[in-house]
């Protein structure tokens, strides 16, 4: 398979990315889930059509991408800006997006602002941009701000050092046993590095990325305004059996989002596949045919 590492310069460092396929193929930008890295697609992308040229990025502060300078915030608008930077660097005028989990939500968010340049968007096991009722909105933001400051303070300490084995265990535990041991090893290729003391490995992701999910949360009304703006063709692939911690929307909210997509997007395809939240990594053969049919045809 034709795979290469890319490095996209930013004012504070770089965005690391992995490119799959020939540059002459149909361009696709891929976003990973919360605290993961673009290794999440290592099993899926080899099964996709050779007609595609896929650039999978490590989000700021994740994988091999640079951490933000001290005192800076990680926010969704900020991440969208970084992804737009990647698009400009690649010189793409029209392209498609594929994202998993938080990366899928970011893909939908990006598309809501840039439908004119995004031809198709694929979201893996996420139905919409994250949102909460207006009443709980201030409290959730306040909690996230406190959490952010707490994580920021930890940066002055040396990061915990793990043996390669305990790093795998830590990751499996943190992901509720939803990934396989092989999946954990894949994610740790970009998600860990040898410690400076030489006695083990440390995780590469910036601790400040942890509260980012709820720090950026929208209220339902605002979220609906965003997703109503999506005109691009859409494919949502939902897993049948995700761990409750990975279910970010009630069935009612999902249905409301689906109705909006049916009404406003050029084409809306909803598929369900047997598996958990990481089915694209655990059982990529279940996901690949659906993605191929949608993106490559």
Residues serving a catalytic function are 101
Residue partners of 250: CB distance under 8 A and separation at least 6: none
E strand or H helix that includes residue 121: strand 118-124
How far apart CA 170 and CA 130 sit, in angstroms, is 26
Q: What element of type H or E holds 118?
A: strand 118-124
Characterize the bridge pairing of strands 201-203 and 192-194: antiparallel
C-alpha dihedral over 189, 190, 196, 201, to 10 degrees?
-40
Reduced to 3 states (helix: H, G, I; strand: E, B; else coil), residue 194 is: strand
Q: Determine contact, residues 223/131, Cβ cutoff 8 Å.
A: yes
**Do 288 and 50 touch, CB atoms closer than 8 A?**
no
């Amino acid at each position: 398979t034709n795979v290469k590492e890319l490095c996209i310069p930013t004012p504070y460092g770089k965005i690391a990315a992995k490119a799959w396929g020939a540059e002459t193929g149909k361009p696709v930008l891929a976003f990973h889930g919360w605290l993961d890295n673009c290794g999440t697609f290592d099993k899926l992308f080899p099964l996709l059509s050779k007609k595609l040229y896929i650039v999978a990025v490590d989000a700021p502060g994740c994988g091999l991408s640079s951490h933000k300078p001290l005192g800076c915030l990680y926010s969704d608008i900020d991440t969208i800006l970084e992804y737009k930077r990647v698009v400009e660097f690649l010189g793409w005028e029209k392209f498609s997006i594929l994202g998993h989990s938080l990366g899928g939500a970011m893909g939908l968010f990006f598309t809501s602002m840039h439908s004119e340049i995004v031809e198709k968007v694929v979201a893996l096991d996420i139905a919409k941009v994250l949102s909460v009722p207006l009443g709980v909105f201030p409290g959730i933001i306040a909690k996230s701000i406190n959490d952010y400051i707490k994580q920021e303070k930890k940066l002055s300490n040396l990061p915990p050092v793990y043996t390669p084995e305990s790093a795998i265990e830590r990751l499996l535990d943190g992901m509720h046993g939803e990934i396989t041991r092989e999946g954990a090893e894949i994610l740790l290729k970009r998600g860990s590095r040898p410690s400076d003391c030489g006695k083990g490995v440390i995780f590469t992701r910036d601790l400040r990325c942890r509260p980012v999910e709820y720090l950026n949360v929208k209220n339902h009304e605002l979220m609906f305004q965003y997703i109503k703006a999506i005109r691009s063709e859409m494919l949502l692939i939902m897993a049948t059996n995700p761990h409750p911690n990975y279910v970010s929307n009630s069935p009612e909210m999902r249905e409301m989002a689906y109705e909006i997509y049916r009404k406003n997007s050029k084409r809306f395809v909803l598929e369900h596949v047997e598996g958990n939240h990481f089915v694209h990594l655990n059982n990529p053969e279940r996901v690949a045919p659906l993605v191929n049919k949608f993106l490559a045809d």
